[in-house]
Amino acid sequence: MKKAIYVGSFDPFTYGHLNILKRAVSLFDEIIIAIGTNPSKQSLFRADEKYDIILKIIQQEDLNNVKVIQYEDELTAHLVERLGVQYLIRGLRSTKDFEYEMDMAAVNRALNSSLESIFLMSDSRYRSLSSSVVKEIAKFNGDISSFVPEIVAQAMKKKYS
């Protein structure tokens, strides 16, 4: 059984994340979305809020072979070992992502030699889309409906009201 993990901050989960997820679904038997905290980024949503939102999105999208978990204070290389996962999915939007991801993949492989990082290129529609951009727009009351699922847009509205 081919199991993959899709790790990220998902703060919030955007159509860019969803696009990568939907494309990865056809490549693996099971995908685990692992919500982590990126210490270099300040989080808008708590991990439990992100969990509830992502769970609802995968139900709405009928993605039956996708699970969601939260993790904290654990290296990705150790997390995948604990879960018995062989593949790590990441999305690439730009050469900036590429530089960062190449280093991360090398570190993860040094820590866990059986882990294979798989990179999916961002769909051109979502190449400029990031959670940070969405937060910036929402903060100033802009329309984020083309960037995030409805449930995320509603949750963002509450955060900034």
Binding stretches for ligand ADP (CB under 6 A)? 8-10, 14, 16-17, 20, 38, 41, 90-91, 93, 97, 122, 126, 129-131
Say whether 17 is catalytic.
yes
Min separation Cβ 81 and ligand ADP, Å? 19
From 22, 41, 139, 157, active-site residue: 41
From 9, 50, 122, 131, active-site residue: 131
Say whether 131 is catalytic.
yes
Say whether 93 is catalytic.
yes
Closer to ligand ADP by CB, 14 or 112: give it. Answer: 14
Spell out the long-range contacts of 18-24 with Cβ–Cβ below 8 A and sequence spacing 24 or more: 18/57, 18/61, 18/149, 19/122, 19/123, 19/125, 19/126, 20/89, 20/91, 20/120, 20/122, 21/58, 21/63, 21/66, 22/61, 22/63, 23/120, 24/89, 24/118, 24/120
What gap in Å lies between CA 111 and CA 12, rounded to an integer?
Answer: 29
Closer to ligand ADP by CB, 1 or 39: give it. Answer: 39
Say whether 78 is catalytic.
no
Q: Are strands 87-92 and 3-8 parallel, antiparallel or unpaired?
A: parallel
Closer to ligand ADP by CB, 112 or 148: give it. Answer: 148
From 17, 50, 122, 135, active-site residue: 17
Query: Which residues are catalytically annotated?
Result: 17, 41, 93, 131
